[in-house]
Amino acid sequence: MPAPTALPDPATLSQLHERIGAWFRAHARDLPWRAPERTPWEVMVSEFMLQQTPVNRVLPVWREWLRRWPTPAALAAESPGEAVRAWGRLGYPRRALRLHAAAAAIVAEHDGEVPADRETLLGLPGIGAYTAAAISVFAFGHRETVVDTNIRRVQARLISGRALPGRGMTAAEMRLAEALLPRDREDSVRWNIAVMELGALVCTARSPRCEECPVLADCAWVAAGRPEPEVAPKGQAWHGTDRQARGALMAVLRAASAPVPRALLLDPRLPEQAHGSAAEADDVVRAVRALRRLEAPPEQLRRCLEGLLTDGLAAEPTPETVALP
DNA sequence: TAGACGTGGAC
DNA sequence: TGTCCAAGTCT
């Protein structure tokens, strides 16, 4: 059972707003998707890419993506496979597929303009509670409660006195975020991004930099003597998993511009065939060797390939070959 | 609601 | 080295 959460009184809350706001003005990173002239589409692309992926890895892919596809219509005009290829090594390539599908829906149903309200955004592929709120706030300046993993962690420590939030978001956390949100619209936008930034830079999951925290004196977790987390981390297995095998299969498809023989994917011990340019052939050979090194059971490779086809991450131009969709 | 879903950097 | 973690979404 979560510890009871005492809401700060109005004076304290106002002080929290002030201190975290001042900290943000002094320490915020200069991230391109925060520039005031950014379009809603540019913000939306950043939010998709930032789902479970660190800022530093997103930056170059975001720039190249928007150079190629500066509008939803530009992306929708491409094949989904090109989106998956441009996604590169960001991970969770289904996000590329969903971003492409969302662009198509925006063109088909919203005159090519990113919707401004949370409810409409929620109807788009790949947009859940967090991303809908984030786009509404960061692209359109609306007053909405945004609750991401950073904000949950800051709230858990600062207000609830716990080391980490639980696995799933609770209604209580949502209510707490609403209660903390400044009334003024512009202040609320600033608050959301500032708390996220505080969580990302100072109130981090592993080794929080409490000495740099602007609200250290108000922190319920510190006041409680920094108790240990209540829930043990889940621990993601990796070696030998389907996720690893799917990733290796996708790497081969991304590297190849021509369809790849199905037999090569299912039995990567086969000799690689020539693919396109010499440079590309090198990339394909490298990817196939990485797949081979997994020494995944043939049964697993078959299952994973079928999964990629089912998910739409791969297609079969012919019965004997596989390619990006 | 718990589990699946990529990838690479930090400790 | 292995574990943990990252602006989540979907089923």
* pLDDT tens profile A169-190: 999 999 999 999 999 999 999 9
User: What per-residue confidence (pLDDT) applies to A275?
Assistant: 63
Percent of chain A at pLDDT > 90 equals 90
Residues A279, A305, A52, A289, CA torsion sign: negative
Q: Is residue A318, in this structure, part of any structural domain at all?
A: yes
Judge whether A152 lies within some domain. Answer: no
Phi, psi of A272 (to 5 degrees): -70, 150
Q: Is A118 within 7 A of strand C by CB distance?
A: no
Q: Does a structural domain hold residue A168?
A: no
- Give the pLDDT score at A236: 79
Q: What is the DSSP string of A142-200?
A: -------HHHHHHHHHHTT--SS--SS--HHHHHHHHHHS-SSHHHHHHHHHHHHHHHH
Within a domain: A30: no
A188 CA to C2 C1' distance (Å): 41
Strand C closer than 7 Å to the CB of A132?
yes
Q: Which of residues 140-159 of A touch strand C (CB under 7 A)?
A: 148-150, 153
Strand order in the sheet with A315-318: A260-261, A321-323, A315-318
Q: Which nucleotide is nearest to A94 (CA to C1')?
A: B5
Question: What's the CA A312/C1' B11 distance, rounded, in angstroms?
Answer: 37
**A139 CA, C7 C1': separation in Å?**
14
- A286 CA, B9 C1': separation in Å? 22
Q: Which nucleotide does the CA of A52 lie closest to, via C1'?
A: C6
Angle at A283 between CA A250 and CA A307, to 5 degrees: 10
Residue nearest to nucleotide C8 (CA to C1'): A51
Confidence band, pLDDT 50/70/90 cuts, at residue A272: low
**Helix and strand totals (H; E) in chain A:** 16, 3
What is the per-residue pLDDT for A278?
Answer: 73
Q: How many domains does chain A have?
A: 1
Question: Annotated active-site positions of A, please?
Answer: 47
Q: What is the pTM of this model?
A: 0.96
A285: in domain: yes
In this structure, what DSSP letter does residue A212 have?
G
Q: Do the domain assignments include residue A1?
A: no
The pLDDT assigned to A306 comes to: 98
pLDDT(A46) > 60: yes
Is it the case that residue A234 has pLDDT exceeding 90? no
Q: Which nucleotide is nearest to A29 (CA to C1')?
A: C7
In a domain, A125, yes or no: no
Least confident range from A23-27, A98-102, A283-287, A308-312: namely: A283-287
Average per-residue pLDDT in chain A?
95
CA of A18 to C1' of C9 (A): 34
Average pLDDT over residues A151-161: 98
A164 CA: nearest nucleotide by C1'? C5
Burial of residue A228 (number of CB atoms within 10 Å: 0-12, 13-18, 19+): exposed
Residue A257 falls inside a structural domain? yes
Judge if the beta carbon of A126 is closer than 7 A to nucleic acid strand C.
yes
Domain that holds residue A293: 242-323
Torsion of CA A81, A84, A88, A89, to 10 degrees: -130
**Is strand C in 7 Å reach of the CB of A235?**
yes
| Half-sphere exposure (Cβ direction) of A43: Cα atoms closer than 13 Å | 23
Whether residue A1 has pLDDT greater than 50? no
Cα(A173)–Cα(A168) distance, rounded to whole angstroms? 10
CA–C1' distance A274–C6 (Å)?
A: 37
Return positions of chain C under 7 A from a protein CB.
3-10
Q: Which nucleotides of B are covered by protein (CB under 7 A)?
A: 1-9, 11
